[in-house]
């Protein structure tokens, strides 16, 4: 046996266990016999609780398909599925520290977050716009000068509004809700004339409000944000499995069916439809799946 | 844990430019101090008055003071904030209501300071009442027998002693004001907790953010503690209270 053959044998011996055994998330899931999904309780209709307090929604369905792929790869059909509610504040630390294996909420994929976590291919695209009362006659951001405009504390919308203000020289009076429901309440009670937020969340809040016909989503798009399932960074084996599962849904047309089910048909708890057709950006992303961050969508 | 640490984040520019994250935290600290100190001033003034009234012989005044204490002590602070901010304006006449909701200057700050002040005043009042109650009954009787009126008795005899006795619980209350001021983020005051949420969303360095904010709250509360300890030492009357250490 010459040196080169010896080296080759050594490499094969060293690599063999690595090929046979899972590492990272897959190993953890196999050892524990369970996988934990991070869910949001009111990210309508991506991930929310129905009237029986069960997590449902478009991204929950996508995650369930990914879990099926994990079961198939690990040959563990009895894998236990656990749910953990997460919030905007704790979702990234909970994914990073291993509490949550897949976050199935409404998380924007951006460059700052890619330093902490990885994302599956984008499965939803949201546009940051504003909701107004139809009676106010407001149709564009330029009409908001000197008026109170609501948004939710700790969201990217706050910064987008400030950046727009600087660029266009419009002076908003910013008011902040603790969460989306509070911020919508500000619009409802005339504390604010507009509420700036992701358009699907606005549509969800309007549909579930007392008088949906009074509100409209109007004005220019402040930002385009790709929303995706979140997983741990530096875990290539798991990332590959998740990507393949999501791309599989896209190629087979199943993602379109899920989209139609959650955005264009009556859904719980009120059995009304969001009536929110698929955007051109998402159609493109289904043809050419990508996990590129928001920054690449908003290059100016 | 698979976390990307970055303690240099505080000196980095925020995404929309112009400022650093440290500037955000400093603005937040400013509002936290403004809300807390205003609320504390209110709480002391109202609390001492209400607490003293609860110990007077007048049934009516004592009843009103008791009602104040029970109202503000039995409702959670967060609920009180929402009540004053969202609910009360709905019962005003339409023009006033719209003025309060859209044009009133610094409405978030005013609501938060009043609300936190009233909430804390109920707790200060209970401590003042306890302080007055702990004085020997003879103090009041002797003072009245010497020809002091009841208000003079309170002003010159009872309150100067009672307030010295209750400095330690008041110290806790002063520290609580700083900690409770964090609830003001819920109605949109741009204080420390609000800025922490913004910073964590913008930078994704949540652990560093909350470490810094924890430290800032600690410094505020600890400064209040040391300040009150100084006042306690300065105002001590030898023989009035046994020294405990």
Same domain, A90 and A235: yes
**Does A258 share its domain with A110?**
yes
| Same domain flag for A206 and A246 | no
Whether A94 and A160 map to the same domain: the answer is no
Q: What is the pTM of this model?
A: 0.83
Domain end marker among A224, A248, A281? A224
CA distances from residue B203 to A110, A171, A193, A240, B10 in whole angstroms, order as listed: 10, 25, 29, 27, 10
Residue A83's CATH number? 3.40.190.10
Q: Is B130 helix (H, G, I), strand (E, B) or coil?
A: helix
Structural domain that includes position A197: 127-224
3-state secondary structure of B1: coil
Please, which residues have CB within 8 angstroms of residue A213's CB and are 6 or more apart in sequence? A134
Q: ipTM for the complex?
A: 0.79
Q: Show which of A224, A253, A284 is a domain's final residue.
A: A224
Residue ranges of domains in chain B: 17-235
Residues A13 and A109 placed together within one structural domain of the fold: yes
> How many secondary structure helices (H) and strands (E) does chain A include?
11, 14
Same domain, A178 and A270: no
**Omega before B70 cis (within 30°)?**
no
Count of the separate structural domains present in chain A: 2
Structure confidence by residue, pLDDT tens digits, A74-104: 999 999 999 999 988 889 999 999 999 999 9
Q: Do A8 and A157 lie in a common domain? A: no
Residue A224 contacts B where some CB pair is shorter than 8 Å: no
Would you call A232 and B185 a contact, using CB atoms and an 8 Å cutoff? no
Domain B17-235, architecture per CATH? Orthogonal Bundle (1.10)
Do A7 and A119 fall within a single domain? Answer: yes
A143 with A163, same domain?
yes
Higher pLDDT pick, A270 / A32: A32
| Strand runs labelled E in chain A | 34-39, 42-43, 47-49, 55-56, 80-85, 102-108, 117-119, 124-133, 148-152, 173-177, 194-198, 215-232, 266-267, 272-273
Q: Flag if A89 and B90 touch (Cβ within 8 Å).
A: no
Residue of chain A with shortest Cα separation from B14: A159
Q: Point out the residue among A116, A147, A153 whose CB comes nearest to the CB of B4.
A: A116
Of residues B102 and A121, the one with the higher pLDDT is A121
Rounded to the nearest integer, the mean pLDDT of chain A is 90
What's the longest Cα–Cα distance across chain B? 75
Residues A220 and A273 in one domain: no
pLDDT band at A270 (very low <50, low <70, confident <90, very high): confident
Domain final residue, candidates A224, A251, A284 = A224
Burial (Cβ within 10 Å: 0-12, 13-18, ≥19) of residue A119: buried
Interchain proximity A88–B201, CB inside 8 Å: yes
Per residue in A182-228, pLDDT (tens digit) is 999 999 999 999 999 999 989 989 988 899 999 999 999 999 999 99
Q: Which residues of A touch B185 (CB under 8 A)?
A: 153, 178
């Amino acid at each position: 046996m010459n040196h080169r053959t010896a080296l080759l044998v050594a490499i094969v011996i060293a690599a063999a266990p690595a090929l046979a055994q899972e590492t990272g998330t897959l190993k953890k899931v196999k050892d524990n016999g369970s996988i934990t999904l991070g869910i949001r309780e009111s990210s309508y209709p991506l991930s929310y609780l129905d009237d029986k307090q069960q997590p449902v929604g478009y991204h929950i369905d996508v995650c369930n398909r990914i879990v099926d792929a994990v079961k198939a790869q690990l040959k563990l059909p009895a894998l236990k599925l656990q749910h953990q509610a997460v919030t905007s504040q704790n979702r990234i630390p909970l994914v990073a520290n291993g509490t949550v294996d897949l976050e199935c909420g409404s998380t924007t994929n951006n460059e700052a977050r890619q330093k902490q976590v990885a994302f599956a291919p984008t499965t939803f695209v949201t546009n940051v716009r504003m909701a107004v009362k139809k009676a106010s006659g407001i149709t564009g951001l330029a009409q908001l000068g000197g008026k109170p405009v609501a948004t939710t504390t700790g969201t990217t919308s706050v910064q987008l509004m400030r950046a727009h203000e600087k660029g266009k020289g419009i002076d908003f009076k910013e008011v902040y809700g603790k969460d989306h429901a509070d911020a919508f309440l500000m619009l409802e009670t005339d504390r604010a004339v507009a509420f700036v937020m992701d358009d699907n969340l606005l549509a969800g809040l309007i549909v579930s409000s007392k008088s949906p016909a009074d509100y409209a989503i109007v004005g220019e798009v402040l930002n385009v944000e790709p929303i995706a399932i979140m997983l741990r960074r530096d875990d290539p084996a798991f990332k590959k499995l998740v990507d393949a599962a999501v791309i599989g849904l896209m190629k087979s047309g199943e993602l379109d069916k899920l989209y139609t089910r959650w955005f264009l048909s009556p859904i719980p708890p009120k059995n009304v439809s969001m009536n929110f057709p698929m955007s051109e950006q998402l159609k493109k992303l289904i043809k050419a799946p990508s996990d590129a961050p928001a920054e690449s969508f908003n290059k100016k | 844990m698979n976390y990307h640490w970055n303690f240099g984040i505080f000196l980095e520019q925020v995404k929309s430019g112009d400022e650093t994250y440290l500037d955000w935290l400093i603005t937040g600290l400013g509002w936290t101090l403004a809300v807390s100190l205003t609320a504390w001033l209110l709480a002391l003034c109202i609390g001492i008055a209400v607490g003293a009234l609860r110990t007077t012989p007048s049934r009516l005044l004592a009843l009103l003071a008791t009602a104040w204490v029970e109202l503000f002590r039995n409702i959670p602070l967060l609920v009180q904030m929402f009540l004053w901010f969202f609910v009360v304006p709905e019962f005003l006449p339409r023009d006033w209501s719209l003025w309060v909701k859209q044009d009133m200057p610094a409405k978030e700050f005013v609501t938060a300071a009043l609300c936190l002040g009233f909430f804390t005043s109920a707790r200060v009042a209970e401590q003042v009442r306890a302080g007055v109650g702990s004085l020997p009954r003879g103090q009041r009787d002797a003072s009245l027998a010497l020809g002091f009126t009841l208000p003079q008795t309170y002003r010159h005899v009872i309150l100067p002693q009672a307030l010295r006795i209750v400095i330690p619980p008041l110290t806790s209350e002063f520290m609580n004001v700083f900690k409770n001021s964090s609830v003001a983020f819920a109605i949109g005051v741009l204080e420390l907790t609000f800025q922490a949420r913004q910073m964590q969303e913008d930078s994704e360095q949540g652990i560093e953010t909350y470490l810094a904010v924890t430290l800032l709250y600690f410094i505020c509360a600890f400064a209040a503690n040391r300040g009150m300890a100084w006042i306690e030492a300065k105002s001590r009357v030898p023989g009035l209270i046994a020294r405990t250490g």
